[in-house]
Amino acid sequence: MEKTEKWKFFKGSKENWFSAEMYNWMDPKDFKEYSILHRRCQSTLIREVLAPYINIVVMDIRFYESGTYQEPGKPLLTNVPAFYLVRLKQVLSDRHTANIKLFLPLFWNERFMGIAGAGSNLETDWDKEQTTNLTSWPMAVRNGFACVVNDGSTGMFVDASWGIKDDHTLEWDMIEYWAFSGTHIVTMAAKAVVEAVYDRKIYKSYMHGTSGGARQIMAEAQKYPGDYDGLWADGPLYDYFNMMFSCLWAALVHYNEPHKVSLKKYQVVKELTRRLADHLHGAFDLEEPSWQKFLAALPGVETEDGPISEEDLRIMIKVWNGPVLSDGTRISYGFGPEITQWPVGPRNFGYLRQHEDGEPSLIPFAVQMFRWMVKDPQWDFRKCTYEEFEVLYRTYRTHFEKYSTYDPDLRSYVASGGKLIITHGTGDHIVPNKLTLEYYKRVCSYFSSEDEAKKNIRAFFPRFGGHALYDWDGPNVTNASGFRALMDWVERGEAPETLDTLKYDFVEDKVVERGQVKAFRMNE
């Protein structure tokens, strides 16, 4: 399927994609006109507000009338509300400058939104977010939010080369900015500007992110509990560095085992798991009897590349089980046979993805972060051995673990009154679902009971839902349903028991499946 066919949009209009139901949750009739912006959104006032924030300067201020908006090389957006765009920059080092954009709608809902990044980037390209539940600035503005976007000098593509110099030294200040402080500093600066130019206090503040964007969400909840009233983390990449070991595990097995398993054999096993889903008890677990019975029946199963052999199965189990040390210590989780781990379109990837010659398609930012650990910007992962992999893990634990966002003690965020929704599809092919399940259980251990934790923190696991995708194996939580639930919880005290989910066919331009997912409870 060609990319142009895949990316057909609602009612045949790419320009109006963000008018679709899953991206809209606020009624424009409820917004108030703030014509005061024409007078107050001026560089003099904004410079005065930003004075306490080191190295953040005003670059440009422009007003866009309602109607159309276009950026170079991107499609024309129509039905865009009137807004001011304030461009700022923050000098981070002699090599790095963050580009910050504030979007200030003329018709404002009196709320603020932080726009998260994804992958290893603090910003993603809004034009590439059109078939996902990532929240972009056009969605935020259309729903009446003042919002901020910060690229953090990390770019908008999957890249982490910014963390290491050619002389093999690491940019530790830049890494810390990326990990924690950048989102906090820019949030506080942006909120100060918003309150100054609208000449009123922000009613409530929200932020939503998926994957690396959800890492930003968790950093905010763990380290800066006063920044946001409502946070939504989807498919969270809590411990970024630890996760890199999951990203590259399948490739490591490929390079270190003389026996290679055909991708078609993995695909056949995936189809078998789907047929037996009701009989297999949850996610892949080597200790679970139903999975043991399933695995025992695989040798001899016919595929286009011949029957599955005992050696095939040994390698498959090693891949599915995920990264472990030689002594059996688990580093992270893998992706079981029930998870799609190969390309299904031009924008998706899995850890079994291959080039035409059969070579693994390595995840760029994972390799680059491993280069941080070895302090070599040219290091070749293809030569990595199991033994070196373990050395890298110890290096991570010694020098990089402090940049993780896996702290389960969220009592400070709860004490601030904040509400946190965590969603994670069980079909996620990028971040292992088990990480979130384990994290949620650890969070609850800090409270007197799960019910006490659920007063402020709730987790949802849509069955077979993908990584921010609406067109994966199962339906996903929509931007609209997630934000409606979060705002009702924050502003009206109505805790969500269920979230609406949706699966969409972007080729046929139609809803495939609607559903709901219940708030997770450990004893159910």
User: Would residue 266 count as lying in a domain?
Assistant: yes
First to last CA, the chain: 41
Sheet of 111-115, strands arranged across: 56-64, 83-91, 97-105, 146-150, 111-115, 204-210, 230-234, 419-423, 457-460
Q: Region 54-75: what's the mean pLDDT?
A: 91
Q: Is residue 310 predicted with pLDDT exceeding 50?
A: yes
Structural domain containing residue 56:
1-202
Are residues 316 and 431 both part of a single domain? no
Per the DSSP assignment, residues forming a β-bridge with 518 are 498
287 and 174 both lie in a single domain: no
Confidence of residue 214 (pLDDT cuts 50, 70, 90): very high
pTM for the model: 0.94
Edge-to-edge strand list for the sheet holding 498-505: 476-477, 498-505, 510-518
* pLDDT (mean) for 192-220: 97
In a domain, 25, yes or no: yes
Q: Does any domain span residue 417? A: yes
pLDDT at 77: 84
Q: Which of 346, 373, 402 is the last residue of a domain?
A: 402
State residue 138's pLDDT score. 92
Window from 56-70, 152-166, 201-215 with minimum mean pLDDT = 152-166
State the DSSP H helix or E strand holding residue 121, giving kind and residue range, or none if neither.
none
Higher pLDDT, 82 or 15: 82
The pLDDT of residue 15 is: 53
Confidence of residue 275 (pLDDT cuts 50, 70, 90): confident
One domain for residues 197 and 233: no
> 54 Cβ partners below 8 Å, 6+ apart?
none
**Domain match, 82 and 153 both:** yes
- Residues facing residue 230 across a β-bridge: 206, 419
The string of pLDDT tens digits covering residues 363-375 is: 888 899 999 999 9
When the pLDDT of each residue in the chain is averaged and rounded to a whole number, the result is 91
pLDDT band at 10, cuts 50/70/90? very low
Overall average pLDDT of the 97-126 stretch: 94
Contact 108/201 with Cβ under 8 angstroms?
no
> Radius of gyration of the chain from Cα atoms?
23
494 and 456, same structural domain? yes
Same domain? 310 vs 161: no
What integer pLDDT is reported at residue 459 of this predicted model? 98
Q: Are residues 346 and 469 in the same domain?
A: no
488 and 357 in one domain?
Answer: no
Q: Which of 43-52, 187-196, 335-344 comes out lowest in average pLDDT?
A: 335-344
Which pLDDT score, from 0 to 100, does residue 2 have?
32
Query: 29: helix, coil or strand?
Result: helix
Same domain, 144 and 90: yes
Residue 112 inside a domain? The answer is yes
Summarize pLDDT for 366-416 with one digit per residue, the tens. 899 999 999 999 999 999 999 999 999 999 999 998 999 999 999 999 999
At residue 3 the predicted structure's pLDDT band, cuts being 50, 70 and 90, is very low
Alpha helices in 405-449 (DSSP H): 411-415, 433-444
What is the mean predicted confidence (pLDDT) over 117-130? 83
Q: Kindly state the tokens that stand for 51.
A: 């004075």
pLDDT band (50, 70, 90) for residue 11: very low
pLDDT tens digits along 445-475: 999 999 999 999 999 999 989 998 898 889 9
Residue 12 has pLDDT above 70, yes or no: no
Which residues have C-beta within 8 Å of that of residue 50, sequence separation ≥ 6? 56, 57, 58, 88, 189, 192, 193
Tell me the percentage of the chain whose pLDDT exceeds 90.
Answer: 71
Query: Across residues 193-211, what is the average pLDDT?
Result: 97
> Which residue has better confidence, 242 or 413?
413
Query: How does strand 83-91 pair with strand 510-518?
Result: unpaired
475 lies in a domain?
yes
Residue 104 within any structural domain of the chain: yes
> Where does a domain end: 380, 402, 424?
402
Residue where a domain stops, chosen among 402, 436, 467: 402
Residue 207 in domain: no
- Total number of domains constituting the chain: 3
**Residue 413 and residue 391 in one domain:** no
What is the structure's pLDDT at 279? 80
pLDDT given for residue 156 in this prediction: 73
Please check whether residues 367 and 247 belong to one and the same domain.
yes
β strands within 178-294, DSSP E: 204-210, 230-234
pLDDT bin (cut points 50, 70, 90) of residue 4 is very low
12-19: which pairs have CB atoms within 8 A and are 24 or more residues apart?
12/509, 13/78, 14/75, 14/130, 15/75, 15/76, 15/77, 15/78, 16/78, 16/79, 17/130, 18/77, 18/130, 18/136, 18/138, 18/139, 18/142, 19/79, 19/142
Please check whether residues 61 and 192 belong to one and the same domain: yes
Mean pLDDT of 323-333: 92
